Amino acid sequence: MIQIAILGYGTVGSGVYEITQKNAKSIKRKSGKEIVVKRILDLREFDDHPHKELFTKDFDDILNDSDISIVVETIGGLEPAYRFTKSALLAGKSVVTSNKELVATHGTELLRIAREQNVNYLFEASVGGGIPIIRPLNGCLAANEITEIFGILNGTTNYILTKMIKDGESFADALRQAQEKGYAERNPEADVEGHDACRKICILASLAFGKAVDADKIHTEGITNITLEDVREAADLGYVIKLIGYTKKTEDGRAICRVSPMLVPEGNPLSGVEDVFNAIMVRGDSIGDVMFYGRGAGKLPTASAVVADVIDIVKGADNKNFIWDEAPEGYMACYKEAVVSLFVRAKGVTKDDVEKVFGSDTVFGRADELCFITPPDKEKELDKKLEALGGEIISRIRVMQEED
Amino acid sequence: MIQIAILGYGTVGSGVYEITQKNAKSIKRKSGKEIVVKRILDLREFDDHPHKELFTKDFDDILNDSDISIVVETIGGLEPAYRFTKSALLAGKSVVTSNKELVATHGTELLRIAREQNVNYLFEASVGGGIPIIRPLNGCLAANEITEIFGILNGTTNYILTKMIKDGESFADALRQAQEKGYAERNPEADVEGHDACRKICILASLAFGKAVDADKIHTEGITNITLEDVREAADLGYVIKLIGYTKKTEDGRAICRVSPMLVPEGNPLSGVEDVFNAIMVRGDSIGDVMFYGRGAGKLPTASAVVADVIDIVKGADNKNFIWDEAPEGYMACYKEAVVSLFVRAKGVTKDDVEKVFGSDTVFGRADELCFITPPDKEKELDKKLEALGGEIISRIRVMQEED
């Protein structure tokens, strides 16, 4: 029998408890041992809970309990999650988490401590909710050199964009509906400004390339400036707008990371990912492109990923190589070095002006106002050309290439 | 250092060798040890190979070499692959394979022997080429009760159907092009008659539900009877035709398995899977739907999955619970018990006749001939109604439900 503790009995934490109860039999069959929740840490009262004796408000009750070998951290945020996680690892307990902010911020240190203590620090649930992505990256795709990862990493913004694209709702209306459905927080900043997607691409890039990416240094744009005009003119040109987390290894071994809205060509598998679904495309040198698709959030999907990590530890998985190192100075290349096309809506210039600057491969939209897609180039070069063009730039959105 | 042997130096086997050479450094970083190919078994001559000294025609050179702890079986087919695999496992060597026919036919016995010998028998590459599916089913989704799996499991038939749908090519022309591109064998029966997809759904169903499914008892229809008229009238109704491997756990704990063409509604993620790509949808009680997408075949994708299994063994993964048991008598439920809708093209009956038999929820196509989709019901009930309808049935294809 393996005894575990759950820190934080919110949406995900209570889901973890629920799954360990209802699927106890099959979990035992798969892990070879019974998995029992011994303590639950939460500051609130749970007097009506059928097992209220499990609850404690004192973390030391868990830390000092040598029966508890695995701690599930589903508190979220940096503190006290960071302090509790570090103490648990130092006490020789493995920790499983869904806390993307903590992994993105202190993952390098926590993974190092786990390795030194010969325990595991696992975080499958931190990216893509229940979608298997962390383990496949580290295991099933281990024979590949990963060159690029890009995807729809945030369900809230994808729901809002889907409403704008399919139903012609404005950003504000779509956001309100997302809030009514519980997909968006009352303060939606972390989602709509791209911070949530930023933490996830930070984790994926660190894992895929083996060096710590600093989330604070990732260029991050949200979707608050996307208008219905952008959506409509993109559609005219055969694209849908999605919030895309993107990372690529450069030829000199550095990482480019970026979160921003992008025009995705219809026909690209990511273009059909709608509502709160997430999808992550991984490009490897042997495998080519593989995509992982599913619900990127929600109580049971996320909790099932946490429980899968617990099962993995019980089965004795050795994930000590499951780690990234500190990155050297200058490891992160400027996102302006990446090759992109730009979708531009502009005023005060003519088609001829645009063709003179960007050349004859520019693709023009049919709208009354001037709207075009530039040929691909390094973003810093396109910036210079846009400045040379002059006029008033109304929108400027990156375009995913056909081969992306 | 871990020393391995490769049995069969064909497409996949030579790919395994290539990947162990070119990605040696990152494989060592991920597995913690150097992985070296010590012997290669093949009956052909490889005098021009830069390491021709590795080759042998005598399996005993591998079986009796105690330095070799992992054997990669990429011979394909039942014999001599079965005999070699069994001998290697009994000699205490782990075996990794891409051989779906062997796993589907003798997997239960080989997994049992592996468990008894405390070694691994892994087969990630047997389904979906390089797409991670076996390990995620067994690991990342372990906290779920899997209820259904369905997907596009064969790249050759998906290429042919894509050509028919997109370019209006006939089945015969599309097949010829697939053969010219090397996607289809000169004798294409295993692909176009659905046998390949049958072996794959057999493996997935056995693993997901934990009991051996008998591939010979899976109802299997190929795509040879699909006509351009079927494709066009399906498109009119908002569907594309795909060859779908399907399995579902019934409420009384039995398995329904089936391989057949199906009408997939546009908007379903499977509908956008084109050319030689594969995609597998897994439905779990906690996670909901997750989909895995990528190249289902090809030298390097498949070989990279084989090498990932080797790395997993080197890392000390314990996959002894990675197994299914013998199934009791009567475990496989008749496929006619599954609820489906049917797409029907018929002559000699009227719309009124159809509505009298199938009710007012029947959906009619706009074509000149009579074409309709029945409301969902158990297939055996629909069969009775079709018989009652009379007339001449030109086509009869299952329809994937919106909630599928």
pLDDT in tens, B324-345: 889 999 999 999 999 999 999 9
User: Whose CA is closest to B110, among B71, B83, B142, B149?
Assistant: B83
Q: Which of B134, B144, B166, B322 is most worth mutating to test chain A (most A CB atoms within 10 A of its CB)? A: B144
More confident residue, A268 or A36: A36
Peptide bond preceding A261 in cis form (omega within 30 of 0)? no
Segments in A185-325 forming alpha helices (H): 189-192, 195-209, 228-236, 299-314
| Alpha carbon separation from A363 to A234, A300, A374 (Å, rounded) | 12, 45, 7
Task: Give yes or no for a contact between B294 and B131, defined as CB atoms under 8 angstroms apart.
Answer: yes
Q: What average pLDDT does the segment B122-138 reach? A: 92
Q: What average pLDDT does the segment A372-377 reach? A: 96
Interchain CB contact of A172 with B (< 8 Å): no
Digit-coded pLDDT (tens) for A329-363: 999 999 999 999 999 999 999 999 999 999 989 99
Q: Which of B147, B281, B287, B318 is most worth mutating to test chain A (most A CB atoms within 10 A of its CB)? A: B287
CA distance B397 to B233: 12
pLDDT at A404 > cutoff 60: no
CA distance A179 to A201: 24
Please give, one letter per residue, the 3-state secondary structure of chain B: CEEEEEECCCHHHHHHHHHHHHCHHHHHHHHCCCEEEEEEECCCCCCCCCCHHHEECCCHHHHCCCCEEEEEECCCCCCCHHHHHHHHHHCCCEEEECCHHHHHHHHHHHHHHHHHHCCCEECHHHCCCCCCCHHHHHCCCCCCCEEEEEEECCHHHHHHHHHHHHHCCCHHHHHHHHHHCCCCCCCCHHHHCCHHHHHHHHHHHHHHHCECCCHHHCEECCCCCCCHHHHHHHHHCCEEEEEEEEEEECCCCCEEEEEEEEEEEECEHHHHCCCCEEEEEEEECCCEEEEEEEECCCHHHHHHHHHHHHHHHHCCCCCCCCCCECCCCCCECCHHHCEEEEEEEEECCCHHHHHHHHCCCCEECCCCCEEEECCCEEHHHHHHHHHHHCCEEEEEEEECCCCC
Q: What average pLDDT does the segment B345-367 reach? A: 92
User: Whose CA is closest to A279, among B183, B272, B33?
Assistant: B272
CB-nearest partner of B286 from A19, A273, A318: A19
CB contact under 8 A, B292 and A289: no
User: Whose CA is closest to B258, among B212, B306, B218?
Assistant: B218
Side-chain-side CA neighbours of residue B355 (13 Å):
7
| A241-274 burial code (b ≥16 CB/10 A, e <16) | bbbbbbbbbeeeebbbbbbbbbbbbeebbbbbbb
Say how far residue A365 (Cα) sits from the centre of its chain.
32
CB-nearest partner of B303 from A29, A286, A290: A286
Task: Give yes or no for a contact between A144 and A155, defined as CB atoms under 8 angstroms apart.
Answer: no
CB-nearest partner of A318 from B294, B306, B315: B315
CA distance A175 to A164: 10
Active site residue A200: yes
CB contact under 8 A, A143 and B284: no
Q: Is the ipTM of this complex over 0.85?
A: yes
The pLDDT-based confidence of B107 (bands split at 50, 70, 90) is very high
For residue B315, the chain A residues in CB contact (below 8 A) are 318, 321
For residue A273, the chain B residues in CB contact (below 8 A) are 269
Q: What average pLDDT does the segment A111-120 reach? A: 94
Percent of chain B's residues with pLDDT above 90: 86
What is the least distance, in Å, from the CA of B361 to any CA of chain A? 27
pLDDT value at residue A403: 62
Q: Which of A37, A135, A290, A325 is most worth mutating to test chain B (most B CB atoms within 10 A of its CB)? A: A290
- Residue A245 φ/ψ, nearest 5 degrees: -85, 135
pLDDT at B402 > cutoff 90: no
For residue A300, the chain B residues in CB contact (below 8 A) are 285-288
pLDDT value at residue A271: 92
pLDDT at B387 > cutoff 90: yes
pLDDT at A322 > cutoff 70: no
Digit-coded pLDDT (tens) for A280-308: 999 999 999 999 999 988 899 999 999 99
Interchain CB contact of B45 with A (< 8 Å): no
Digit-coded pLDDT (tens) for B268-302: 899 999 999 999 999 999 999 999 999 988 899 99
pLDDT at B383 > cutoff 60: yes
CB contact under 8 A, A287 and B272: no
Q: What average pLDDT does the segment B138-153 reach? A: 90
Residue that the structure tokens 């993974």 belong to: A111
Task: Give yes or no for a contact between A55 and A42, defined as CB atoms under 8 angstroms apart.
Answer: yes
CA distance B95 to B87: 10
pLDDT value at residue A186: 87
Task: Give yes or no for a contact between B292 and B282, defined as CB atoms under 8 angstroms apart.
Answer: yes
Positive or negative torsion for Cα A143, A149, A153, A159:
negative
Which secondary-structure segment (H or E) carries A384?
A: helix A379-389
CA distance B219 to B236: 28
Give the distance between the most distant pair of CA atoms in chain B: 75
Amino acid at residue number A234: A
Q: What average pLDDT does the segment B158-183 reach? A: 95
Interchain CB contact of A50 with B (< 8 Å): no
Which secondary-structure segment (H or E) carries A212?
A: none
Say how far residue B205 (Cα) sits from the centre of its chain.
10
Interchain CB contact of A315 with B (< 8 Å): yes
Interchain CB contact of B130 with A (< 8 Å): yes
CA distance B155 to A281: 19
Interchain CB contact of A402 with B (< 8 Å): no
Task: Give yes or no for a contact between B130 and B294, defined as CB atoms under 8 angstroms apart.
Answer: yes
What is the least distance, in Å, from the CA of A388 to any CA of chain B? 41
Digit-coded pLDDT (tens) for B41-97: 999 999 999 999 999 999 999 999 999 999 999 999 999 999 999 999 999 999 999
Task: Give yes or no for a contact between B241 and B226, defined as CB atoms under 8 angstroms apart.
Answer: yes
Helices A11-22, A24-31: inter-axial angle, 10-degree rounding: 80
pLDDT value at residue B318: 66
Task: Give yes or no for a contact between B301 and B308, defined as CB atoms under 8 angstroms apart.
Answer: no
In terms of CA atoms, which chain B residue is nearest residue A131?
B290
Q: What average pLDDT does the segment B340-352 reach? A: 95
Instruction: Copy the structure tokens of residue A235.
Output: 């559609």
